[in-house]
Amino acid sequence: MPAVNLTARALLLDMDGTLVDSAAAVERVWRGWAVETGIDPELVLAVMPGRQGHATMAELLPDRPVELNLADARRLLAQETADVADIVPIPGAAEFLAAVEPFPHALVTSADVPLATARMTAAGLRIPDIRITAESVSASKPDPEGFLKAAAELGVAPADCVVFEDSAAGIAAARAAGMRVVGVGATAATHGPTAWAATLRDVMLTAGADRALTLRVG
């Protein structure tokens, strides 16, 4: 995608695949669940990015009892929270978080607080003061609830927010919230973002008038 200039009053940041590279841990845990349930692991890994665990399970097994999905999701969440040995930051993430610190921003993740804390800490990244996690919402991405809650907490209109996301579910959620979205990572460009960056090193931030942000992406 060509370079794009955007303006924003707040930035809403996904975690996994956007700030934190947790792909190895995620794959280990979810491949195990796929084998247990007899589902093609590649299908599971294609569906689950950006979603809460129980929402992934409901998508893959629509006739399965909700109680089983919730129980499995809790078990997998505990495994993911403990599996941080090879968690690393996305290139440029630390510098990006330092650059946005003076401006309104929030973490919006499908992880719960313990998982988000474990992964951001393992990656050596600052955790934003405002964060919308699994405990904060009643619906998983691609529902826009998380992004809308973050905008409301920051006191910024959805149209004035720019989201940073990597997954199809997250990008769809941002679009549904009426927000522009920067896709981050190799596959994000295929999901229809407003702009695309290979890594966060490809995003330049400058302060504009009235504390607005100007972003050069790409």
Quick check: 215 and 203 in contact, CB under 8 A?
yes
Distance between CA atoms of residues 84 and 96, nearest Å: 22
Q: What is the DSSP string of 191-217?
A: G--SEEESSGGGEEEEE-GGG-EEEEE
- In 3D space, the residue among 32, 67, 73, 36 whose CA is nearest the CA of residue 52 turns out to be 73
Distance between CA atoms of residues 132 and 38, nearest Å: 33
- For residue 48, the SS3 value is coil
Active site residue 202: no
Task: Cis check for the bond before 142: say yes or no (omega within 30 of 0).
Answer: yes
C-beta neighbour count of 21 within 10 angstroms:
20
Name the phi and psi angles at 157, rounded to 5.
-65, 145
Distance between CA atoms of residues 174 and 176, nearest Å: 5
Distance between CA atoms of residues 30 and 57, nearest Å: 11
Active site residue 16: yes
Q: Which of 16, 21, 112, 143 is catalytic?
A: 16
Q: Which of 14, 21, 72, 83 is catalytic?
A: 14
Residues classed as catalytic: 14, 16
